[in-house]
Structure 1
Amino acid sequence: MMPVVRRPTRTWLLPTLAGYQRAWITPDVVSGLAAGAVVVPQAMAYATIANLPVQVGLYTCIVPMLVYAFLGGSRSMSVSTTSTIATLTATTLVSAGVAAGAEDALGSLMALTLLVGVILLLARLLRLGSLVENISGATVLGLKIGVGATVAAGQLPKLLGETVNFSGHGLIRSLAAVGAALDSVHWPTVGLSVASILTLFLLQRFVPQIPSTLIVVLGGILLVALTGFKESGVDLIAPVPSGLPVLALPDFSAVGALVPGALAIAIMAFLESAAVARSTRRPEEPTIDADQELFATGAANVFGAFFTAMPAAGGFSQSAVNQNAGAKTQLSTLVTVVLAILIALFLGPVLSLLPQATLAAVVFVAVVGLIDVPELVRWARFSRVDFWIALTVAVVGLTAGLLAAVAVGVVVTLLLVLRELNKPAVSAGERRGDALEVRLGSGLYTANIRPNTTAVEELVGTYAGVKTVVLDLHRLEATSITVIDGLMDLDRQLSSKGVELHLAALPPKATAVAQGFPWFEKLQARNRVHPSVAAGLGAVAASSD
């Protein structure tokens, strides 16, 4: 009796902790603390991109991260907000007419986060994971360039001593704000900004293992706490309340205006999360399931929405820190969550000493790295199509806005996918006497039936003496009226040239549909429908003898 081989089943709850080993505890704890040193101050900084209180970024490091740790399939991915998601959040809120600091700003933010989560869960329900991943890298590169330039320009007024954030208002208004700020430059703030930026660049360049963001944030706090720097007129962030996020209900008054932005954020959240999950996966770890990541990221946003969290996604920087520190499972994320909870409970007064210019410097350095001009140049050399897609998306993002850039990128990507799908891949197979086998390289559907039937006619025309074509249809898993009409037209065109069409290897589902058409019934009655190509060629050869 043959032994039964059982496939390992994946559990949906805490999947990365399956088969946990005691030796993994220390690296998980260390990596969780290391990631927390990066993700917590970074998330607080990213909250300012959307003109939100810094504690909103801190809250995003609690509930969404906790939910993903329980449901996600990546062992080392850290889920909070990212610069791209934060910028799209700012743009969406501004486009919806939600003013920063207004009473309904946080309620609308919660509604936006909830919408993002619901869209991701619907995509999971419809199994759209692989479809979303078809969005090209060129689109993502163009969008990141647009995000980087827009957010960097939006931080310049704060770096010069202004208090207004223009990240959600686009590049033009941000540059105009820079021009206005030049008349009232606050030099102590400029000095702090320059020192913070240089420190970040130097640490990242020469000592990358040190959490540069944490060092700069602590330096800014100590500068204010231990010196009289505050009296020089340097602006601090708004007071940070101590305590955990409380359960609250979203404000749906602007939900209609939030939907387009929610779609864009959901697409980017999944793309970033999927990319991070795959790039941080070790060879010995389980493969990343796109649908599982949709579910985990969607649930993280749905639950986070009710605790005033920003839209969340996998972040490259903190995930890389997590992995490099030796994270084995999502226990490391649970350690990061505990660290964020302790900070929220006990360090609110300390965080309130943080200068705005320091956070602006953190954001500025983070987003400048998104402007990957060398990659754009490389694509200009090797792939002109990708180069023009990336450049177009970037220009649209810088001029018309980031939401428009996402829309253009998605539309262009879908058009390119359709173009590739619609390219006919017709080839000649075996020839027996005056009978020729013709193979289709892809299935037939409404959009590509005409190019394929035309290609078949042209191919047959290149072979002299062909009187019978046996068309291999084994790839036609499903069919439609348009496809049957196209095959009927092909039969007529070939018949007018003295060539008889035979169909072979038509799958059962497609056969069941085709049998409802009188034309197909006539082909069957005339023995021109065959179970395989070999049977078709054999029948043609037998009839000609």
Structure 2
Amino acid sequence: MSRFVPESLRGYQRSWLRTDIVAGLTLAAVAVPETMGYTSIAQVPVITGLYTVLFPAIVFALLGSSRLLVVGADSATAAILAGGLATFGLAGLTPYSPQWLALTSLTALLCGVLLLLARLLRLGFLGDFLSASVLIGFLTGVGIQVFTGQLPDMLGIPKGKGNWFQQQWHTLTSLGEVSVPTLAFAVATLAIILGFKAILPKVPGAIVAVVLSIIVASVADVSAHGVAVVGAMQGGFPPIGLPQGVGWSDIPPLLTVAFSCFVLIIAQSAATSRSFATRHGQRVDINRDIVGLSGANLAAGLSGTFVVNGSPTKTQILDEQKGKTQVANATMAVVVLLILLFFTSVLTNLPKPVLGAIVFVIGLDLVDIAGLRLVWAARRSECYIAILTAVFVFAVGVQQGIVLAVVLSLIEMVRRQYRPHRFVLGLDAGGEPTFQRAAPGMQSAPGLLVFRYDADLFYANANQFSDDVQELITSAPDPVRWLVLDCSAIPDVDYSAGAALHQLVTFVHNRHATFALAGLDPDLRATLERFGVIALLHIDHVYPTVEEAIAAFRSSAPAPLPADPAGDRTAERAGDRAADRAGDSRET
């Protein structure tokens, strides 16, 4: 019978039920105002925000593997969605219109199909092409776009058109038209949310602000004083079925939008699932989660709402409330269903500046200054890329930003593979390896050069690798009689690199020197045998370890090896001078 139990619920204990229900109620208190606020980003009717945490959450609970991941509307995917619909051949559409909503639902269906294909074709690794640093920059850019986008609603002024800079200029030049009652609701909401965060962090300030604002708005009839309210909403079940008013011709322009959402969904959801599973010593099946996310987006598309994603913020809340499993998310879905069936009329007088302020805070939270500082401290080149991604997202567009983020992640990966760490190795008096950054004029010992290369050898770096080794050989203080290539940090070699190794072996042999390999794993050795590299060497010149290769050199050397092969002072001084000129020695 256990095979019929959803993976996220296997091993469920009865003692968890009360905790899960309480956590689900708290989660609903946060999710209801948040998801309603996200509709202002996606530019769809407010009621559709509640739809995102109804059927999609239940479907993910049944199909996914993560015990805690909360699936629903997300600010980043909502921003990609709105930006894509406004730019890719669909600019004539009117936001909030039925056709706009139908296209957002169609995009959710396309995301569901792409996620399913990713699972069938084992393409889940595509999410890994968004590096952690670039993801920080991307979400920071989304956060800036999100919180600045809420300013008109919070100030009671019309939204500007054009790019981000034009919109901000419109806001600045319209400050004389600010609605004081509207601003008062926004400021009060911010004060309540931030106050509860500081004093009572376990109480969701957003739901307190929503309840109080509805009461005040109902008593004071704020709409008569210029404060925009949500207005009447159609309650009941979401509309079930394919989106109306769209056809096959709408799919091609939406594919790029759906693909951008798809990449972010995999990257963000996988990172969130792994993070929280690790905290609790649990194993998460990312491929199974992709199936769950596929089902959740298909459910969203078939129930009249927009793209859904794994939410780090709501998952964090669930974890803080000691939620154990997807029963908490199911509880949240039940609460939302009750609201849809019986209480949508209560939300009629909800002031829009309150929702704007809620999303404003969410946008601020996405701006990860602390994360950027950590990236800066660890590797400045990655921080520059993260900042560039952030600026590109809000200045050019979120969808274009996700493309740039993937491209920059790939470029940074190739850059590190193209110029990886390179060392000249030796052994100290105790027989332990010594490492010095490789630079012309260095040697491991008179007549010996042990070279370590810390990356795959492939077409992009193969010639550079060969040139580096040849330069080390020709610039060594003493004629090199043995070149030992430490392969312990070379996982793989492609055909181009195999050809480069062929040429390098020939170069070494033509200088009447020995070429030896050390530290090969079985797969790498098999690859080099297929490429014919091993056949070029003497059978005895392939060693399990660098230490054994150095011992073989010692036995063949006419002069005894110094105690520290890497300690030749003349070479060290020459190496230091050359290393000062080498840019890679100053990488952070």
TM over 0.5, shorter chain: yes
Is 1:158 equivalent to 2:153 in the alignment? yes
Q: What SS is found at the alignment partner of 1:328?
A: coil
- Aligned in 2, Cα 1:407/1:11: closer, same or farther, shift over 3 Å? farther
Distance 1:539 1:280, change over 3 A: closer
For the pair 1:499 / 2:516, whether they are aligned, the reply is: no
Determine if the alignment matches structure 1 residue 185 to structure 2 residue 185: no
Q: Deviations over 1:182-238 (max 9, x none)?
A: 354333222222222222222222222111111111122222333333332322224
Tell me if structure 2 keeps the 8 A contact 1:152–1:367.
yes
| Cα displacement (A) at 1:60 | 0.4
Q: CA–CA distance in 2 between the matches of 1:428 and 1:377?
A: 34
Give the gaps of 5 or more residues in structure 2.
428-443, 559-588
Map 1:481-520 onto structure 2 (within 5 A). Answer: 481-502=495-516, 520=533
Equivalence for 1:222: 215
CA deviation after TM superposition for structure 1 residue 146, in Å: 2.1
Is 1:199 matched up with 2:192?
yes
Note if contact 1:424-1:451 (Cα within 8 Å) is conserved in structure 2. Answer: no
Provide closer, same or farther for how the CA distance between residues 137 and 514 of structure 1 changes in structure 2, counting only shifts above 3 A.
closer
Q: Residue 149 of structure 1 corresponds to which residue in structure 2? A: 144
Moved more, 434-443 or 485-494: 434-443
Q: For residues 169 and 22 of structure 1, do their structure 2 counterparts lie closer, same or farther at Cα, with a shift above 3 Å needed?
A: farther
Task: Give 1:356 deviation, angstroms.
Answer: 1.5
Task: For residue 365 of structure 1, report the CA deviation from its aligned partner.
Answer: 2.1
Change (3 A) 1:101 1:459: same
Q: What's the offset of the Cα at 1:510?
A: 6.1
Instruction: Tell me the equivalent position of 2:127.
Output: 132
Query: How many Å apart are 1:428 and its aligned residue?
Result: 4.1
Q: Give the drift of 1:414.
A: 1.4
Aligned residue number for residue 257 of structure 1: 253
Number of positions where the alignment pairs a residue of Structure 1 with one of Structure 2: 532
CA spacing shift, 1:506–1:154, aligned 2, 3 Å = closer
Closer, same or farther: CA 345–95 of 1 in aligned 2, 3 Å: same
Determine if the alignment matches structure 1 residue 241 to structure 2 residue 237: no
Q: Indicate which of 26, 43, 65 corresponds to 2:57.
A: 65
8 Å CA contact 2:57–2:333 kept in 1: the answer is yes
Structure 1 runs not aligned, ≥5 long = 1-9
Does the alignment pair 1:40 with 2:32? yes
Of 90, 108, 112, the residue aligned with 2:107 is 112
Hey, what does 2:464 align to over in structure 1? 451
Q: Give the whole-Å Cα distance in 2 for the aligned partners of 1:115 and 1:169.
A: 28
Match of 1:361 among 349, 357, 366: 357
Q: How many angstroms apart in 1 are the aligned matches of 2:126 and 2:105?
A: 27
Is 1:121 equivalent to 2:116 in the alignment? yes
Normalising by structure 1, report the TM-score.
Answer: 0.85
Alpha-carbon separation, structure 2, partners of 1:173 and 1:463: 63
Matches of 1:263 and 1:393, distance apart in 2: 18
Deviates more, 1:397-406 or 1:426-435: 426-435
Q: Distance in 2 between matches of 1:357 and 1:184?
A: 15
C-alpha distance in structure 2 between counterparts of 1:540 and 1:190, whole Å: 80
Residues 404 and 488 (structure 1 numbering): CA distance in 2 closer, same or farther, change over 3 Å?
A: same
Contact 2:126 2:263 in 1 (8 A): no
2:68 is the counterpart of 1:76: yes
Offset, 1:313 = 1.7
* Residue 155 of structure 1: how far off its partner (Å): 1.6
For residues 95-142 of structure 1, what are the alpha-carbon distances to aligned partners after superposition, in whole Å with 9 as ceiling and x for unaligned? 232431333212210121123233333344444545533533332232
Match of 1:290 in 2: 286
Q: Is the 8 A contact 1:143 1:397 kept in 2?
A: yes
Normalising by structure 2, report the TM-score: 0.80
Contact 1:45 1:362 in 2 (8 A): yes
Distance change (3 Å), C-alpha of 1:239 and 1:173 = farther
SS in 2 for 1:369: helix
User: Residue 90 of structure 1 aligns to a residue in which SS?
Assistant: helix
Distance apart, 1:408 and its partner CA: 2.2
1:410 aligns with 2:406: yes
State the partner residue of 2:313.
317
Alpha-carbon deviation of 1:260?
Answer: 2.7
Q: Does 1:523 align with 2:523?
A: no
CA contact (8 A) 1:424 1:448 kept: no
More displaced stretch, 60-69 vs 199-208:
199-208
Question: Match of 2:42?
Answer: 50
Q: Percent identity?
A: 27
The CA deviation at 1:336 is: 0.7
Distance 1:194 1:511, change over 3 A: closer
Is the Cα–Cα contact under 8 Å of residues 51 and 165 in structure 1 kept in the other structure?
no
